[in-house]
Amino acid sequence: MIETILFITIRLYKLLLSLYPAEFRKTFGEEMTEVFYESLQTAADAGWGDLRTVLGNELRDWPVSCLRQHLWERNRLLLPESSFLSGWGAVAAALPFLLYFFMSFGPSISREVLLIVFGVAMVAAWWQRWPGWFVSWLGFLILFGQNWLPYSLLGAGPALNSLPRLLNMLSTVVFQTGWLAVMYWVVHRWPRYGVLVFLPSLWMPWAFSMEFASEAMTAVVSNAVFIVSALIAVTISVQRTSSGDVWLLYAGALLPGGLLTLGSVLFTPGMVNAWVDFGSHLMQALAPFAGILLLQSLNAWGREHIAQRFTHRMTAGALLMFMARLTMVHLYGPSGLTAFQLSLTPVLTAAGLLGVLLVFSGGWRLRTHLEPAGKRHLTVMSVMLILLPLLYYAPFLTNIVNTLIYDQPNFIRLRTVPPALQTVDSVVFAIGLVGLLLLPLTIGWLRRQTAAFPTSTEQAGLKAWRQRRRERRETRNRFGTAWLSPKRLALLLAFTILLAGGIFFVAVFLPLQLKAEPYTQQIALGDLDSDGHLDAVLANTMRLLPHAENRILYNDGSGHFSDGNQDIGEGGTGVVLLDSDADGDLDVVVGGMIGGIEFRNENGRFTPDDIITSHAPESGASQFYFHTGDLNGDGIPDVFMAGCCGTGISRAPEEMEWVAPVNRVLLGSDAGLVDSGQALGVRGSQAVALGDVDGDGDLDAFVGNTQSNRENMRNDEPNEVWLNDGDGNFSDSGQLLGDQRTYAVALGDVDGDGDLDALVGNEGADELWLNDGEGRFTLSDQPWSKRQTLFVFLVDLDGDGDLDAVTGHQLTGSFAWWRQGLIWWNDGSGRFTRGEQRIRFLPNAALAVGDVNGDGRPDIISGALDEVTVWLNEGDGRFSAVDQ
C-alpha cells in the first residue's frame, strides 16, 4: 500500500517538476527527485502524520518556487537584435492606435479631418519610402474606410454583410500587425520591461469581447476570462523567454485571444452559431501569430541556429494543416457542397498539401542533424502529424464523390456517411490532435538536441543575405529603417490580403454558403387523403433564398412514404394542417418569407389560395411558424402565427431601420383564414404551442422567442405567455421566461397535476417550465440536454399514461454530420430519464412524432426535403428504423 502511494507520489512529483525551467530541471531535477523520495521514505516510516506534512509542504511551496525560478531566469531574456522601427517610427506607428482610442472614447472626429490626417501620414510614408510604421496606418484606413463606403455596397441582409465583415477582419489583421511592430520596438528599447508591453497589446481581444458580449453579465465574465488569460500570457512569456525564443513570447501574448474565444463561446448565450464564431475568433487570434512569423522571419532569418528555421517551418505546416481541418469539420456542409465550395477544393487541397510539405521538408532537414534517438522521436511525431491531412481529405473526398455521382449543378445532398469512415475520422483526428498538442514539446526537445548545430551561414547559404541586411541597416534614417521597400510592401500587402481573405472565406463566406443549403424546417403530420393514415408535409427552405420546394408525402399505412407530386410552394419555414374551409378535409398552410399561404385541399389536390398576410415592411417578420386550434370557440380551427426575426428597412442611403417581428392571430371562417389584426410581441418568435394554460377553457399561447432587433440584435429574448380572453383576443401575461434562443415548445401535463407545463427547446440547455395551474410558470430543476435543440414533443410513447418527451438536437464539431433525437421517459411525476437509444438523422432534416403505422403507438419520423425516415415504436421502449 505504502509503496504504491510512494510510487504514485513520485510520478506526480516528476510531473510538477516538468513545469520548472528546462535548465533548472536538467541540473537539479534528478537530485530533487532523489531527495524528495528520501524525505518521503523517512516520513512514511514515521507515520501518516509526517507523510502528510512532507506532501503538504511540497505542494504549498511548489507554485511559488516554480514561479520564482522562472522569474530568476528572466534576467537572461534574449531580445531581438534590432527593431524595424526607430523611436520616431514607433511613435508614428502608434499614432493610429491613439487616434482609435480617442475616437472610441472621446468626441468623434469628422471624416474630412481624418482624411487630412491620413493624407499627411501617406505623404510622410511616401517621403520615407514606405517605412514600417505605415502598416498601422493602413489598418487604420481600412478600419474607418469601411464606414465611408456607399450604403448600397453594404446592404442589409446577412449575405451582404460579408463585405463589411471582410473589411473589418482585414483591418484587424493589418492593425494588429502594425501594433505588434510597435511592441517589438518597445521590447527592444526597454528589455527589462518587455513583458509588460503585452498588457496594453491585449486591447484587441478586449474589443472583441465587448463586440460579441450581448449583455452586461456576459461582458463581465468574458472580461474576467480575458484578465486571467492575460496573467497567464505574462507568466508564459516570462517562462518562454528564458529559453531565448522571442517569437514564443509573442505567441504567449496572443494566448488571450484563443482563451477569449473559448470564453465567448462558453459564456455568450444565444449565438447564432457558436462554432462559426469560435472559428472566426480562433482564426483572428491566429492571424497575428502568422504576422509575427512574418516579422520574425524578416528580422531574424538566419540569425538563429539553422535548426530554428526548420522547426518554424514545421510549426507553420502543422498550423496550416490544422486550420484546414477546422475548415473541413466546422464550416463545410455535411449535407452537400455548393458549386462554390467545390471550386474552392483545389485551394484547400493545396493548403493542406503545403502544410504536409512544410512539416516534412522541415523534418527531413532536421533529421540529418539528429542523433538516432532524435530521429525516432521525429518519425513518431511526423506520423502523427500526417494523420491530420489524411482525416482532412477522407470525408471531404466522399462528399466530392457524391457530388460528382449525382451530377447536379448546385446543391447535392450527401446521402450517407459510412459509419466506418466516421470512426476512422474520429480516431485519426484524436491522434492528430495529440500530435499537434505535442508539437511544442517536441520542438523544444528537438532544439535541445540540436543545440550543437552549426550556425555557419555558409552552410545555410545565408551569407549573402546577411550582407544585404547590413546594407539595408546603413540606409536607416531618423524615421527608422526603410524595411518596407516597394517589393516588400507588395509582399506584405499580398500576405495580408491573402490572410484576411482566407479568414473571410473560412469564417464568413463558407458559413453563409453552408446556410444556403436546402433543408426541412418543419414536418406536419395529418391524414390528407382521408385514408386513415398520417401523411407528411415537409416545409423546405434555404436560409437565404426560398428555392427548396415543399413536399407532401403520402403514407401507405405501414410507415412507408411516397411523394405525392403536389405543388405546395417553396421556401416553407413552418407548416400547419387544419380544415380551414370547413369542408371536412385537412388543408395546408405554409409559412415563408412572404407570409403564410393557404393551400386548399380539393379532392386530394392542393391549390393555392390567398396569401394570408403579406410581407409588408411594417410586419417585420420574414419567417413564420404556426400552431392551430379553435381560438375563439366557434368550432372552426384558427391559427396562431409566430413571426421571426425582424427586417431591415432602408429609408435613407446611410440609415437602416429595423422593424420588429410580430405574431399574428388568424381566425378561421367560412371564407378561410382571416387576419384578426392583432400584433402580439416584438421578440422574434420561432415556436408557439397552444393550450389552456390558465384553466379558463380557451387556448392560450406559449411563445418561444429567438432574436429580435431591439437593442442592437438581442439573442436572449425571453419567452412569453399570451392569454386568450375566449374570443381569440390575446393579452400579454407579463411573464418573461428564460434568456436563450428558443426553437421549439411543447405543452403538456407532465407532472399529472391537471395543468399544462411547457418543455422548451433552446440554443443551450433545454428547460421544463411547470405550471401552477393559473398559467404562472416556474423553472423546474430537471436537467435536460445542453445541445442546441430544434424539436421537442410531449407524447405518451410507452402507453403508461404520462407524457414522455422526444427532443431533436443539432450536433457540433466532428459530429456535425448528424442531428440526434433523444427520448426521455417520464416516471409520472414529471421527472424524466434519458433513454439509451439515439435517433440519428440528417442535419438538414426535421423531426416529427406520430402513429404512422396505425398500431396505436407514436412513432418518430425525420424528413429531409423529399424523403422521410421512420422509426417505429416497438412498444418496449425501442424504436427501429424502417426501410423506405
Query: How many residues of this chain interact with other proteins, rule: CB under 8 A?
Result: 24
Beta-bridge mates of residue 761: 744
C-beta of residue 20 within 8 angstroms of C-beta of residue 29: yes
Query: Least distance (Å) from other proteins to the CB of residue 238?
Result: 15
Query: Least distance (Å) from other proteins to the CB of residue 445?
Result: 22
Query: Least distance (Å) from other proteins to the CB of residue 35?
Result: 4
Query: Least distance (Å) from other proteins to the CB of residue 237?
Result: 20
Would you say 76 or 878 has its CB closer to other proteins?
Answer: 76
Would you say 63 or 461 has its CB closer to other proteins?
Answer: 63
CA angle 80, 309, 67 (to 5 degrees): 55
Binding characters for other proteins, 626-645, by CB under 8 A (x = yes): --------------------
d(C-alpha 475, C-alpha 479), whole Å: 11
Would you say 38 or 774 has its CB closer to other proteins?
Answer: 38
C-beta of residue 66 within 8 angstroms of C-beta of residue 32: no
C-beta of residue 207 within 8 angstroms of C-beta of residue 179: no
Q: Which of 18, 65, 467, 884 binds other proteins (CB under 8 A)?
A: 65
Q: Distances in Å between the alpha carbon of 165 and those of 160, 395, 810?
A: 9, 29, 26
Q: Amino acid identity of 656? A: M
Query: Least distance (Å) from other proteins to the CB of residue 61?
Result: 4
Q: Looking only at residues 578 through 597 of this chain, which bind other proteins when binding is defined by CB under 8 A? A: none
Query: Least distance (Å) from other proteins to the CB of residue 36?
Result: 5
As a whole number of Å, the end-to-end CA separation of the chain is: 61
φ and ψ of 601, to 5 deg: -90, 110
Would you say 49 or 677 has its CB closer to other proteins?
Answer: 49
Query: Least distance (Å) from other proteins to the CB of residue 246?
Result: 23
Q: Determine the interface stretch with other proteins among 49-57, 172-180, 382-390, 655-663 (rule: CB under 8 A).
A: 49-57
Q: Determine the interface stretch with other proteins among 58-66, 117-125, 226-234, 318-326 (rule: CB under 8 A).
A: 58-66
Binding characters for other proteins, 8-47, by CB under 8 A (x = yes): ------------x---x--xx--xx-xxx-xx--------
d(C-alpha 387, C-alpha 393), whole Å: 10
Q: Which of 6, 22, 44, 66 binds other proteins (CB under 8 A)?
A: 66
Query: Least distance (Å) from other proteins to the CB of residue 32?
Result: 5
Would you say 38 or 371 has its CB closer to other proteins?
Answer: 38
Would you say 58 or 866 has its CB closer to other proteins?
Answer: 58
Query: Least distance (Å) from other proteins to the CB of residue 686?
Result: 57
d(C-alpha 586, C-alpha 580), whole Å: 7
Contacts of 461-465 with CB under 8 Å at 24 or more apart are 462/301, 462/302, 465/301, 465/302
Q: Determine the interface stretch with other proteins among 60-68, 185-193, 718-726, 828-836 (rule: CB under 8 A).
A: 60-68
Query: Least distance (Å) from other proteins to the CB of residue 69?
Result: 5
Would you say 58 or 749 has its CB closer to other proteins?
Answer: 58
Query: Least distance (Å) from other proteins to the CB of residue 74?
Result: 13
Would you say 229 or 239 has its CB closer to other proteins?
Answer: 239
d(C-alpha 799, C-alpha 412), whole Å: 41
* DSSP strand pairing (859-864 vs 846-850): antiparallel
Closest among 97, 364, 58, 307 to 204, alpha carbons compared: 97
Per CB under 8 A, 68 contacts other proteins: yes
Query: Least distance (Å) from other proteins to the CB of residue 58?
Result: 5
Closest among 548, 590, 551, 588 to 571, alpha carbons compared: 548
DSSP string, 365-389: HHHTTS-HHHHHHHHHHHHHHHHHH
Q: Looking only at residues 173 through 202 of this chain, which bind other proteins when binding is defined by CB under 8 A? A: none
d(C-alpha 57, C-alpha 796), whole Å: 60
Q: Looking only at residues 72 through 101 of this chain, which bind other proteins when binding is defined by CB under 8 A? A: 72
Per CB under 8 A, 61 contacts other proteins: yes
d(C-alpha 277, C-alpha 352), whole Å: 22
Q: Which of 7, 18, 53, 157 binds other proteins (CB under 8 A)?
A: 53
Query: Least distance (Å) from other proteins to the CB of residue 48?
Result: 16
Would you say 33 or 782 has its CB closer to other proteins?
Answer: 33
C-alpha cell at 849: 412524432
Contacts of 510-515 with CB under 8 Å at 24 or more apart are 510/327, 510/331, 510/332, 510/341, 510/344, 511/273, 511/276, 511/331, 512/158, 512/159, 512/162, 512/544, 513/333, 513/338, 513/340, 513/341, 514/331, 514/332, 514/333, 515/158, 515/542, 515/543, 515/544
Per CB under 8 A, 467 contacts other proteins: no
Please count the residues of the chain: 884
Q: State the DSSP code for 21.
A: -
Binding characters for other proteins, 487-516, by CB under 8 A (x = yes): ------------------------------
User: Would you tell me which residues interact with other proteins (CB under 8 A)?
Assistant: 20, 24, 27-28, 31-32, 34-36, 38-39, 53-54, 57-58, 60-62, 64-66, 68-69, 72
